[in-house]
Amino acid sequence: MTQLTDDEAVDLLHEMLTIASPSGQEQELAAFLAARLAKLGFAERIDEAGNVIGEIGTGDGPTIMLLSHLDTADWPLPVRAEGGWLWGRGAVDAKGPLAAMICAAARRPGFRGLIQVVGAVEEERLSRGGHYLARSMPPPDRLIVGEPSGWSAVVLGYRGKIDLEYRVARPPTHSTNPEPKATEIAVGFWEAVCTALGPELSHAKFDRPAATLRGIRGDLVQAWVDVDCRVPPGFDAERLTAALRSAAADGELNVIRHIPAVRQSRANPAARALAAAIRRHGGQPRPLLKTGTSDMNTVSERWSVPMAAYGPGDSSLDHGPAERILLTEFLQGVEVLATALDELEPDARRLGNG
């Protein structure tokens, strides 16, 4: 068993970036990480969903889970190192955070308890890996979700998500016929979504809903609309869908998925451990509420445990043409996570196995 040096940690992330893993195509990366986890002294396995799971520690105490995801957006980006930055698809979202978690756990093989590092599949699409994990495994005692927060910030919440699909068909007709055409009805449905969400839509504010028209296609006869709604805690999803069904005319509305928002207290043990670790490394911890969605939402539907999200990287670079991570920040993230495990260890001893 060996522990990763800083150079080896960077090499691990670089190798991960060279393995393309868009949602639904994570098998090669999972196999690579399973082999690497075994080399680092983890007990490793790949579950039926394709999630890769590594466990390390003495087992004499409760479980701390470090959960991130294997998949990336499906837009290739060449891997290169330049000026202290490492470029590549997933450098920020979320291979950087996942690599940092693996390295941090590998540096704490004698942890009194159990550290589980999990790379989940399809977080970017339908969170299939996260849903399977929450159904198939007992909840950990503490959970840290690996998403980009910047090395000195802790994420306490994410907005929820409602994905909608709308289809409509109309009889063939001339374009000058005053009867509504399929494309016109589809545009009207999008306007109905914005109206139903309320007058204060915002992509920038955690406590406001927002909507994105992800796709629209059609003609006079048939049309299709794909809408992504982001909603704050307490949002009445049933009221929204009821209003949209009324507005759907003779079209077909499908709710593809609904993931409620999640918000944790900054006083919860996972968040406190991360904040203390950031301070110990010279930072001033900042609590964040994110307007997107993560596997923190997914697992919180079943697991009522203290949790927070953390990871190196600038989330504004997610999915974009300049996705990259500053290597000094990546290594700071490794140190913060390792120190957070130290902070959780005495807490774990007080908890025992319950």
pLDDT digits (tens, 9 = 90+) for 280-294: 999 999 999 999 999
User: Which of 96, 71, 99 has its CA nearest to residue 85?
Assistant: 96
- 290 occurs within a structural domain: yes
- 337 and 288, same structural domain? yes
- 106 occurs within a structural domain: yes
Calculate the average pLDDT of the chain: 95
Q: Is the pLDDT of residue 149 over 70?
A: yes
Catalytic residue among 44, 55, 71, 93: 71
Q: Which of 259, 275, 298 is the last residue of a domain?
A: 259
User: Which class for 101: exposed (0-12), middle (13-18), buried (19 or more C-beta within 10 A)?
Assistant: buried
- 20 occurs within a structural domain: yes
Q: Which residue has the tokens 């009194």?
A: 112
pLDDT per residue as tens digits for the range 57-104: 998 888 999 999 999 999 999 999 999 999 999 999 999 999 999 999
- 126 and 16, same structural domain? yes
- 115 and 84, same structural domain? yes
- 274 and 147, same structural domain? yes
Predicted confidence at residue 2, as pLDDT, reads 52
Catalytic residue among 123, 295, 329, 335: 123
Q: What is the DSSP string of 263-330?
A: E--TTSHHHHHHHHHHHHTT---EEEEESS--HHHHHHTT--S-EEEE-SS-GGGTTSTT-EEEHHHH
Predicted confidence at residue 283, as pLDDT, reads 97
CATH number at 95 reads 3.40.630.10
- 171 and 119, same structural domain? no
For 18, how many CA atoms within 13 A lie in the half-sphere containing its CB?
Answer: 9
Q: Which of 205, 224, 259 is the last residue of a domain?
A: 259
Q: Give yes or no: 82 in active site.
A: no
pLDDT per residue as tens digits for the range 180-217: 999 999 999 999 999 999 999 999 999 999 999 999 99
- 1 occurs within a structural domain: no
pLDDT per residue as tens digits for the range 208-246: 999 999 999 999 999 999 999 999 999 999 999 999 999
Q: Give yes or no: 123 in active site.
A: yes
- 77 occurs within a structural domain: yes
Q: Is the pLDDT of residue 27 over 50?
A: yes
Q: What is the DSSP string of 28-87?
A: HHHHHHHHHHHHTT-EEEE-TTS-EEEEES--SS-EEEEEEES-B-SS----EEETTEEE
- 199 and 235, same structural domain? yes
- 328 and 253, same structural domain? no
For residue 22, the 8-state DSSP code is: B
Q: Which of 232, 259, 286 is the last residue of a domain?
A: 259
- 87 occurs within a structural domain: yes
- 172 and 124, same structural domain? no
Q: Which residue has the tokens 């301070």?
A: 279
Residue 1 pLDDT class (50, 70, 90 cuts) = very low
- 146 and 65, same structural domain? yes
CATH number at 201 reads 3.30.70.360
Instruction: Give the domain range for residue 217.
Output: 160-259
- 224 and 168, same structural domain? yes
Q: Give the total number of structural domains in the chain.
A: 2
- 295 and 230, same structural domain? no
- 319 and 170, same structural domain? no
